[in-house]
Amino acid sequence: MKMLIGEKWVGKEEKIDVLNPYNNNLVDTVPSGDKDDVEAAFQAAEKGYKTNRDLPVHQRVSILYQTAEIIKSRQEDFAKTIAMEGSKTIKEARKEASRCIDTITISAEEARRLVGETIPFDSREGSENRLGYYFRFPIGIIVAITPFNDPLNLVAHKIGPAIAGGNSVVLKPATVTPLSALKLGEAFIEAGLPWNILNIVTGRASKIGDVLVTDPRGRMISFTGGTEAGLDIVKKAGLKKIGMELGSNSPVIVMDDADLNRAVELSVSGAFWAVGQNCIGVQRIYIHDAVYEKFEKLFVEKTKKLKVGFQLDEDTDMGPMITEEEAARVQKWIEEACQEGAELLTGGKRKGTLCEPTVFRNMPTSAKLNCEEVFGPVVNLYKVASLDEAVELANSVKYGLHGAIFTRSLENAFKAIKELDVGGVMVNDSTDYRIDMMPFGGVKWSGLGREGIKFALLEMTEPKVVCFNL
């Protein structure tokens, strides 16, 4: 596949192989973009911004709706691309393709709702003859940098609101999973999006990352990825808007009055969806000591039933990790935790990129698996005596994206809602629950700003005040 820059699809002699992480088979190749390609993309995006800024809202809406229809007509093809280039099973990939349709559709709907307000200037003495209002205008070029774990829908979460708001985009998809983004770009162009508005540069971060984030023509950086990369971007970006969805190691609290079967089912799914390569995946579960033994038994039994294998097989529950390097890192963290005294309940082994779903108890607070984001199929079970203890432990790490509590008590639920230091609290659900219209983001080291179409659209536009002195 080729890059989308300006008014054409661009190929290069130097290419990057896109490999299936299960068997290392070649899926396709993409150009290895460099700083000259980034420069060409910015020059095109400057033209694209002027074009999209002046497009009537109904045309942006029509393009977005048509793009969603194209994706829907090719949903299985998109799903297979997601699964072949990444870690998701075909069942998980179908869900992502479906969510992408929602994301683009919601972007069309929210484009109509980008409104301002009148301002009562005469509320101040001496301004009796003044009246006016504000409206929102696009900020310019959005630099979008996306991760491998949701290679289609997280791209849509940046492109959709950017286009809806009248901006242009320079997108760098994840090096290992660029194909879904390029297919989405094809759908936008087929739907009638004018050239130059959307530019997609494929390449390695080591070659084009700094050029992308430091260019002053980019008026906002919308980044989803690891915390260390996010910190590096903040240091280099300069004076521009920044939206970041970073890491987490999401906590779940299970109280003694919880529906244990529901808590187990949803927490197992939340821990091992997409091989645990999920920023809101369940990593720490704090269980009231009155129900701990039963919960642990049910949780381990259900985990052992998960089938690990080729991600395109219909009966596979958990596919491979994205690279063998990442799988080896997770295995190392598991071995370190065992050496520090954590008790392994199931899993812990790997073969190539295939890691067993792994469950621990008695994880030391100093272990990486407790305080860092594992981004792999590992979950820790902890026994607690009270909700206060659970909340204190849940808040004890530097992340704060999503938290969850299973309880039948409104008092418990609202206490957790108030005291958990996170961007979202799921009650009687897994931390990995999300719909694409809700505000999404975290506190502390989990990010800056909020995604979710309406909220991203506000980030990607600014209010302009108009005042008449009559």
380 alpha-carbon distance from chain centroid: 23
What would the pLDDT profile of 253-308 be if each residue is shown by its tens digit?
999 999 999 999 999 999 999 999 999 999 999 999 999 999 999 999 999 999 99
What would the pLDDT profile of 418-452 be if each residue is shown by its tens digit?
999 999 999 999 999 999 999 999 999 999 999 99
Quick check: 103 and 179 in contact, CB under 8 A? Answer: no
For residue 116, the model assigns a pLDDT of 96
The model's confidence at residue 8, banded by pLDDT at 50, 70 and 90, is very high
For residue 395, the model assigns a pLDDT of 98
> In order of start, what are the domains of the chain with their CATH numbers?
3-246+446-469 (3.40.605.10), 250-435 (3.40.309.10)
In this structure, which long-range contacts are made by residues 332-338, counting pairs with CB atoms below 8 Å and at least 24 apart in sequence? 333/367, 333/368, 333/369, 333/372, 333/374, 333/376, 333/378, 334/358, 334/369, 334/378, 336/367, 336/368, 337/363, 337/364, 337/367, 337/368, 337/369
318, amino acid identity: M
The model's confidence at residue 18, banded by pLDDT at 50, 70 and 90, is very high
For residue 348, the model assigns a pLDDT of 96
Q: Are strands 250-254 and 402-406 parallel, antiparallel or unpaired?
A: parallel
Q: What is the C-alpha to C-alpha distance for residues 78 and 294, in angstroms, rounded to an integer? A: 41
For residue 352, the model assigns a pLDDT of 97
What would the pLDDT profile of 129-178 be if each residue is shown by its tens digit?
999 999 999 999 999 999 999 999 999 999 999 999 999 999 999 999 99
Q: How many residues does the chain have?
A: 470
**This prediction's pTM:** 0.95
Quick check: 407 and 286 in contact, CB under 8 A? Answer: no
What would the pLDDT profile of 346-398 be if each residue is shown by its tens digit?
999 999 999 999 999 999 999 999 999 999 999 999 999 999 999 999 999 99
Active site residues: 245, 279
Neighbour-count burial of 198, counting CB atoms closer than 10 A to its CB (0-12 exposed, 13-18 middle, 19+ buried): buried
Q: Phi-psi region for residue 203, left (φ > 0), alpha (ψ -120 to 50) or beta? A: left
What would the pLDDT profile of 400-410 be if each residue is shown by its tens digit?
999 999 999 99
For residue 150, the model assigns a pLDDT of 96
What would the pLDDT profile of 186-236 be if each residue is shown by its tens digit?
999 999 999 999 999 999 999 999 999 999 999 999 999 999 999 999 999
Q: What is the C-alpha to C-alpha distance for residues 416 and 457, in angstroms, rounded to an integer? A: 29
- Give phi and psi for 342, each to the nearest 5: -70, 150
Tokens matching residue 195: 């050239």
What would the pLDDT profile of 83-142 be if each residue is shown by its tens digit?
999 999 999 999 999 999 999 999 999 999 999 999 999 999 999 999 999 999 999 999
Half-sphere exposure of 361 (CA within 13 A, CB side): 14
